[in-house]
Amino acid sequence: MSNPRLAEVAILFLRLGFTAFGGPAAHIAMMHDEVVKRRAWIDDAKFLDLLGATNVIPGPNSTEMAIHIGYLRAGWTGLIVAGACFITPAMLIVMGLAWAYVTYGATPAATWLLYGVKPVMIAIVARALWDLGRRAGKGAIHLAVGALVFALYLTGIHEISLLFGGGLAVMIATMAARARETGRWALSSFLPPMPLSLASPFAPLFAPLFATAAPPASVSSPGSAVAGFSLLGMFLSFLKIGSVLYGSGYVLLAFLRGEFVARLGWLSDQQLLDAVAIGQVTPGPVFTTATFIGYQLGGAPAALLATLGIFLPSFVFVTISNPLIARLRGSPVAGVLLDGVNVASLGLMGAVTWRLGQASIVDALTVAIALTAAVSIVRYKVNTTWLVAGGAAAGLLRAAFG
């Protein structure tokens, strides 16, 4: 590539696409280490604003973070390259596993890999939470809201309610404090001036994405995996899911089941669970579950089309939202709302990590792996890619020698 910044973006996100295990929280922590700590492309404050922005739009958070960072580093071309490079490795790995599944009726076991990698991811995320938490925790209000979001998520309250509720709580509490000081409420500053046009190289994509499309043809034989299948119908289904989905892999499972098992009858419950499991255990975005489903339904062409359908909305949403972040930050009250969303995002990230830690650190060896990774990051500044490789090697040795 003639553009050195574009080459930097491509190399970084290709590497992350092959090594970013552990789900969105871990992916984001690895990005923080690479683009804030090691390369200083952006600072903690900007990274937090991007994190807050990705949480308030639908789609896979870590993929949208990659797209945002690519745009900031290398412009519109960087936006496309970062997203594509982060998605492509996972897509290729999942397609390979899907081929094995369709050919042999099973997929290679990955338990040994995750056994060693997950404790490493806990250490990586904990370090990122510490760094970002110090920047986001601007006072008692922010700390209290972050802790409350953490606790409430563990009780089962939906993450979107907590995200917006936390943001509003910080905004209202801060405005109340200002009102006591000044004797008036600055509501007029809540919404900053917005551009009349959001013109960009992606403008032609907006209309077809949000246009009303006819639903796929009805299934004549519900329960059959291929009855009524069409590439267009599958693409529109994934486009719809990518346009409206918030939340975790469990939410993705609910959307996919409602669409492909209950409504269309193209998959069985077991096929769907196998697809989601593959999305969880491979590196990169969990949304590559769509790749696996597409391959099951129509081979490689359907896998590619399914991947495009579920990820395309993320590129569009980032294109729309990125120019607005600086305007929101420039508004006194809207900036406070963004601070609240940021701290709520960290609370959610911490709660997800706590849950993952309970499932990942299960014996003396996984404790040792997590502690070794933590010391390596904090004391010796070891690159997260090497830590992931070390965790995978530890898991392989555990499988080989019991």
Distance CA(161)–CA(139), nearest Å, equals: 22
Which residues of the chain carry a pLDDT beneath 50?
186-225
Cα R_g (the chain), whole angstroms? 22
Q: Are 72 and 49 in contact (CB under 8 A)?
A: no
pLDDT score of 376: 93
Taking only the tens place, the pLDDT of each residue in 28-58 is 999 999 999 999 999 999 999 999 888 888 8
| 178-209 burial: b if 16+ Cβ within 10 Å, else e | beeeeeeeeeeeeebeeeeeeebebeeeeeeb
| Helical spans, DSSP H, in 20-110 | 24-32, 44-55, 61-104
- In one-letter notation, the amino acid at residue 235 is F
User: Reduced to 3 DSSP states, what percent helix, strand and coil does the chain have, rounded to the nearest 5?
Assistant: 80, 0, 20
Residue 402 DSSP label: -
Q: Quote the mean pLDDT of the chain.
A: 82
- Report phi then psi at 283, rounded to 5: -70, 165
Closest CA to 394 of 348, 358, 360: 360
Taking only the tens place, the pLDDT of each residue in 366-378 is 999 999 999 998 8
Put residue 290 in one of left, alpha, beta given phi > 0 → left and psi -120 to 50 → alpha.
Answer: alpha
Q: Are 152 and 400 in contact (CB under 8 A)?
A: no
| 258-283 burial: b if 16+ Cβ within 10 Å, else e | ebbbeebbbbeeebbebbbbbbbbbb
The secondary element (H helix, E strand) that includes residue 276 is helix 269-281
DSSP track, 117-134: HHHHHHHHHHHHHHHHHH
pLDDT score of 306: 97
pLDDT score of 190: 44
CB neighbours (10 Å) of residue 102?
13
| Helical spans, DSSP H, in 331-363 | 332-360
Using a cut of 0.85, tell me whether the model's pTM lies above it.
no
- Report phi then psi at 378, rounded to 5: -75, -45
pLDDT score of 111: 66
